[in-house]
């Protein structure tokens, strides 16, 4: 199989973890006889600094012409700490999602047995947790009408029936492939937009009779994720709620550096770690590359290359079991491994497998 991959390293630790993702993809492609071609493009603060636009037209073109995008992270403190900034790195991420029509964000939340002690929750609560958060990505308050002056500000949480139907279809289909349990998360007791979400979900549920569908207010869902994360199989929700809940879910595993994601929709899919750019760690060789590497596994699986994805997951599990880990998840007294060393160990495992 031939792959054309757009690589967007971005900001902060992005370029460091991006290298490890590309190295792993190269190793897997070599092992399985695939051909891969990379095209690198600017995004985020790096793109603002160089061309004044966090998602330049050239980057959009490169993404459109690719089979998939391997994205890393955007963000920089000089923009975070300036509330008057008109152009921000994160606008590039939103632009990419909107312009590529990536309306479905798929975030797996899982625990690793050897890292249960790293979770802020008790091991008996998180052991066996394995669920998908499916977040609507191109609607709601992030893209609705906005206004701000010195005395008034508002964001409009707007959704249409087609937008809701298409993300629910994704969620029901994922539930059919898993344990056949879907939880629709909303705030239908307060918000009109949520009431439309619940109405549409109730209308669609009979089309999937094998799926047990339940409904949960977002505040209850946030609490249930902490009290009983093993309850969930597939969770679907709107953009703003999804942004918050997926970050909450990432803590269950014990490190944001462990979890990948995929954004899919009308055009080129994007695969990325869920964490941010962590600018404080830039250049220190301490960033965990596993989320980026597992994003490569999701990329292969998206193209039905299941054996390739499985091998990457085996290599990641083996690295954790062997305590080849970056500092934030290393055992006390364990050997010191950096971003490069963890990536190299996984590449070598793949080559020898």
From first to last of its 353 residues, what are the pLDDT tens digits of the chain? 899 999 999 999 999 999 999 999 999 999 999 999 999 999 999 999 999 999 999 999 999 999 999 999 999 988 877 767 788 899 998 899 989 999 999 999 998 888 888 888 999 999 999 999 999 999 999 989 999 999 999 999 999 999 999 999 999 999 999 999 999 999 999 999 999 999 999 999 999 999 999 999 999 999 999 999 999 999 999 999 999 999 898 889 888 889 999 999 999 999 999 999 999 999 999 999 999 999 999 999 999 999 999 999 999 999 999 999 999 999 888 999 999 999 999 999 999 99
- Note if 142 is an active site residue: yes
For residues 106 and 83, give the distance between their C-alpha atoms in angstroms, rounded to a whole number. Answer: 30
**322: exposed, middle or buried (C-beta count within 10 Å: 0-12, 13-18, 19+)?**
middle
Which of the residues 113, 219, 284, 321 is marked catalytic? 219
Tell me which residue has tokens 């979400």.
197
The residues, ordered by sequence, that sit 6+ positions from 318 with a Cβ below 8 Å of its Cβ are 349
Which of the residues 79, 159, 186, 187 is marked catalytic? 187
Work out the number of other CB atoms within 10 angstroms of the CB of residue 329.
Answer: 21
Work out the number of other CB atoms within 10 angstroms of the CB of residue 340.
Answer: 14
- Note if 321 is an active site residue: no
Work out the number of other CB atoms within 10 angstroms of the CB of residue 294.
Answer: 24
For residues 21 and 1, give the distance between their C-alpha atoms in angstroms, rounded to a whole number. Answer: 18
SS3 67: coil
User: 72 near 242, Cβ under 8 Å?
Assistant: no
Which of the residues 11, 79, 142, 337 is marked catalytic? 142
Which of the residues 243, 282, 317, 340 is marked catalytic? 243
For residues 172 and 168, give the distance between their C-alpha atoms in angstroms, rounded to a whole number. Answer: 6
The residues, ordered by sequence, that sit 6+ positions from 288 with a Cβ below 8 Å of its Cβ are 17, 255, 257, 258, 325, 326, 328, 329, 339, 342
Which of the residues 49, 67, 155, 247 is marked catalytic? 247
Length, in residues, of the chain: 353
Rg (CA), the chain: 20
- Note if 187 is an active site residue: yes
């Amino acid at each position: 199989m031939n792959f054309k991959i757009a690589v967007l390293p971005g900001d902060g630790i992005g370029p460091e973890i991006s290298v490890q993702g590309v190295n792993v993809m190269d190793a897997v492609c070599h092992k399985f006889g695939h051909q891969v071609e990379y095209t690198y493009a600017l995004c985020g603060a790096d793109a603002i600094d160089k061309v004044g636009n966090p998602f330049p037209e050239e980057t959009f073109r490169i993404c459109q012409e690719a089979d998939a995008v391997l994205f890393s992270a955007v963000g920089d403190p000089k923009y975070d700490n300036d509330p008057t900034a008109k152009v921000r790195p994160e606008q590039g991420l939103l632009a990419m999602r909107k312009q590529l029509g990536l309306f479905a964000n798929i975030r797996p939340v899982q625990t690793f047995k050897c890292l249960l002690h790293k979770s802020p929750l008790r091991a008996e609560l998180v052991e066996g947790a394995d669920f998908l958060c499916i977040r609507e990505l191109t609607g709601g308050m992030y893209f609705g009408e906005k206004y701000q002056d010195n005395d008034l500000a508002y964001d409009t949480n707007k959704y249409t029936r087609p937008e809701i139907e298409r993300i629910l279809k994704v969620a029901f289909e994922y539930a059919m492939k898993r344990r056949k349990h879907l939880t629709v998360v909303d705030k239908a007791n307060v918000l009109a937009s949520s009431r439309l979400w619940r109405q549409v979900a109730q209308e669609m549920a009979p089309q999937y009779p094998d799926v047990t569908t339940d409904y949960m207010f977002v505040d209850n869902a946030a609490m249930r994720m902490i009290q009983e994360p093993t309850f969930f199989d597939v969770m679907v929700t709107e953009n703003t709620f999804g942004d918050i809940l997926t970050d909450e879910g990432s803590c269950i595993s014990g490190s944001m550096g462990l979890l990948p994601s995929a954004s899919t929709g009308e055009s080129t899919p994007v695969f990325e770690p869920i964490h941010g750019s962590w600018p404080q760690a830039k250049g220190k060789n301490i960033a965990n590359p596993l989320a980026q590497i597992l994003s490569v596994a999701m990329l292969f699986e998206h193209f039905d290359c299941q054996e390739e994805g499985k091998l990457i997951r085996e290599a990641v599990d083996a690295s954790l079991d062997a305590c080849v880990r970056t500092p934030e998840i290393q055992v006390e007294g364990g050997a010191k491994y950096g971003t490069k060393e963890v990536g190299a160990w996984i590449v070598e495992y793949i080559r020898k497998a």
